[in-house]
């Protein structure tokens, strides 16, 4: 039971972090033209 609660907490925190990563891709990657940053952060989002 505790494992289920822990996994739900991790999933919720990861879901709440996605908009921050998306904003970082736009602010730090797209604006500066940094393709490596875009791909790296996108990989973190996909994981």
pLDDT at res. 37: 97
Low-confidence stretches of the chain (pLDDT < 70) are: none
pLDDT at res. 47: 84
Q: What is the pTM of this model?
A: 0.76
pLDDT at res. 3: 97
The token pair at 31 is: 């604006």
């Amino acid at each position: 039971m505790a494992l289920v609660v822990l996994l739900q907490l991790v999933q919720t925190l990861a879901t709440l972090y996605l908009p921050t990563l998306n904003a970082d891709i736009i602010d730090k990657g797209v604006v500066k033209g940094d393709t490596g940053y875009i791909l790296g952060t996108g990989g973190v989002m996909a994981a």
